[in-house]
Structure 1
Amino acid sequence: MKFKAVIFDLDGTLVNSLQDIADSMNIVLKNNNYPTHSYDEHQSFIGSGIRSLVSKSLPLTHNNEKQIDSCFHSMIEVYRDNCTHKTKPYDGIIELLDNLKSRDIKLSVLSNKADALTKKITSTLFPNYFDPVIGLSMEAHKKPNPFTAVEISKTLGIKPEEIMYIGDTGIDMQTANNANMFAVGVLWGYRPKEELTSNGAKYLLKNPLDLMEIL
């Protein structure tokens, strides 16, 4: 199979955004006099969007829809101002993207992060690499729902089976398989190897340039 496009997850795949996410969420928690969390704890919260992150971060005694909504909106505001302070591409990612572009392979980003934040981070750290770049706008379309991944394939004019989907979580692997795309898991992200393989990863990358072996 000749792959004509690659769709990347963002957090834990292209960029290490853990510290900016955790720092922002902890600001929101402190402002509400709630306990904060370590980077390791926040790492386990990431992957299903900011609303899910907020819910997992709040104490059980205040984990109701009203408080989740309030802290969600606060988190969006705080994180918008802090989302590129410490966030950086993983080593080897830029080199990988240059290699893929040299082969005329189309590149796209699909994230469960809010759409505006996904676009801001991607345009700041990766100008002129990805099109389209799509984050979460509707909860109903959140990964592992394959809807947006399939829409990207239509936009690119490339069949799903000719597209690799690369991510660091079981949700990403489910999304790829649900969309009939080739599921590739990365081992430098936020989830263990076992989560990737149990959710249908067809190939695992120890470092970004390992991808060139498939191609």
Structure 2
Amino acid sequence: MNYKAVIFDLDGTLVNSIEDIADAMNAVLKSANYPTHSYQEYYSFVGSGIKSLVTKALPNNSCNAQQTEIGFNAMMAIYSNNCINKTKPYDGIIALLEALKARQLKLSILSNKEDTLTKKVALALLPSYFESVDGLTTEAHKKPNPIKALEISKNLGIKPEEIIFVGDSDVDIQTANNANMYAVGVSWGFRKKEELIANGAKLILNHPLELLDIL
């Protein structure tokens, strides 16, 4: 297959953002006198958007709709001002993006992170590489719903089967398969290889530049 574009997930795929996400949510929990969580625990909380993360981080006996909304608003207020304190691209990502651009592939980001935050992180850490950067604006359109991936495909003028979709979670792999794109998982992200394979990843990358081998 002659692939013409790559859609990337953001957190856990292009950038390691777990510490900034965890620090912000733990600050929210501390302010409410709730137990906090380790960075390792947050690996299982991320992937389905900040509201989902808040629900998972709150104590079970405090996780109702009102507390989730309060926690979400507090998390957004803190994280939006601290989303690039410790967040950095993974080793090899910049080299990969440079190589893909040199081959004239179209590149996009599709994240379940809130849209303004997705754009802020991408602009600060990965400027000038992407045709489009899309985060979550409508809960119903959240990955693994393929609607946004297919919208990117349409806007690029490239068929879904000519697009590689790269991510680090079951949600990303499901999105790729739901959109009829080539599903590629990464081993350096927030989930285990076994989860990616179980959800239908066609390939697992152990280093970003390995993606060039399938072009």
Task: Tell me whether the two structures share a fold, i.e. TM-score over 0.5.
Answer: yes
Aligned ranges for residues 1-215 of structure 1 at < 5 Å?
A: 1-215=1-215
Distance in 2 (CA, whole Å) between partners of 1:213 and 1:179 is 22
Distance in 2 (CA, whole Å) between partners of 1:135 and 1:157 is 20
2:96 is paired with a residue whose SS is helix
1:52 positional shift: 0.4
Q: Which amino acid aligns with 2:187?
A: L
1:88 positional shift: 0.1
1:45 is paired with a residue whose SS is coil
Distance in 2 (CA, whole Å) between partners of 1:42 and 1:193 is 17
Identity among equivalent positions (%) equals: 64
Runs of 4+ in 1 over 6 A off after TM superposition: none
1:68 positional shift: 0.1
Distance in 2 (CA, whole Å) between partners of 1:81 and 1:35 is 23
1:142 positional shift: 0.4
Distance in 2 (CA, whole Å) between partners of 1:130 and 1:33 is 41
Distance in 1 (CA, whole Å) between partners of 2:175 and 2:75 is 26
Distance in 1 (CA, whole Å) between partners of 2:189 and 2:180 is 23
1:43 positional shift: 1.1
The gaps in structure 2 that reach 5 residues or longer are: none
2:104 is paired with a residue whose SS is coil
Q: Figure out how many residues of one structure are paired with residues of the other and give that number.
A: 215
The gaps in structure 1 that reach 5 residues or longer are: none
Distance in 2 (CA, whole Å) between partners of 1:71 and 1:131 is 33
Q: Which amino acid aligns with 2:77?
A: E
1:184 is paired with a residue whose SS is strand
Deviation string 1:176-206 (CA, Å, 9 cap, x unpaired) is 0000000000000000011000101001100
1:74 positional shift: 0.7
Q: TM-score, normalised by structure 1?
A: 0.99
2:20 is paired with a residue whose SS is helix
Deviation string 1:17-64 (CA, Å, 9 cap, x unpaired) is 000000000001111111100001111101110000000000011000
